[in-house]
A = this chain, B = another copy of it.
Amino acid sequence: MALFSKDIQTMDDLFLHALQDIYYAEKKIESTLPKMIQKAGAGPLRDGFESHLDETHGHVERLEQAFTWLDKTPTVVSCPAIDGIIREADEIAHDISDQSVMDAALAAAAQAVEHYEITRYGTLIAWAREMDRNDLVELFEATLKEEKAADSRLTELAEARLNATA
């Protein structure tokens, strides 16, 4: 989250900024995942990306719900972190000729994306709890659960690769 200190003086300001940051990130992921799906080999990696794209639409909707509950219009702030992570995921979606190497690289890029989301939703949940906003805690916990599950599926794929080569 690109924080401009003049705008951020209270925890409420910080929270709103974090929300705008992850809203930007989820929308960027929504537009990037289709390219990763095209590059992924058939099978569980591609299936995983496809089901995570469906989940991502839901994450965007939950964030819009959070803005509404806070009486704010959904807006984004640019975020150098997710831009950098996605640029990597995107750059890798070029022409490595070996599909198996490509899949390993795509899965690693996707895990970096998941971990960024896991840390940001973890922070939002901690701050929402501090602000006594259990409605937001529950909303973000539902998303966090899906992000962690997506990360675990990617770890399982890496382990399956290992078993296949062992």
Please list the residues of chain A having a beta carbon within 8 angstroms of any beta carbon in chain B: 1-5, 8-11, 13-14, 18, 79-85, 87-88, 91-92, 94-98, 100-101, 104-105, 108, 111-112, 114-116, 118-120, 122-123, 126-127, 129-130, 155, 158-159, 161-162, 165
Copies in the complex: 2
Nearest chain B residue, comparing its CB with the CB of A17:
B105
**Which residues on the B side are within 8 Å of A84 (C-beta)?**
79-85
Q: Are A111 and B104 in contact (CB under 8 A)?
A: no
**Which residues on the B side are within 8 Å of A126 (C-beta)?**
155, 158-159, 161-162
- Give the residue among A1, A5, A159 with the most B Cβ atoms within 10 A: A5
**Which residues on the B side are within 8 Å of A98 (C-beta)?**
9-10
- CB of A18 to closest CB in B, whole Å: 7
Bound together, the chains give a CA A97 to CA B112 distance in angstroms of 32
- CB of A15 to closest CB in B, whole Å: 9
**Which residues on the B side are within 8 Å of A13 (C-beta)?**
101
Tell whether A11 pairs with B111 under 8 Å between CB atoms, given A81-B88, A88-B80, A159-B126: no
Nearest chain B residue, comparing its CB with the CB of A110:
B119
The residue that A14 contacts in the complex, of B83, B104, B111, B127, with Cβ under 8 A, is B104
Q: Are B2 and A91 in contact (CB under 8 A)?
A: yes
Q: What are 7 A-B residue pairs whose CB atoms fall within 8 Å in the complex?
A: A1-B88, A3-B96, A14-B101, A80-B87, A85-B116, A112-B120, A115-B118
Bound together, the chains give a CA A112 to CA B87 distance in angstroms of 17
- CB of A76 to closest CB in B, whole Å: 15
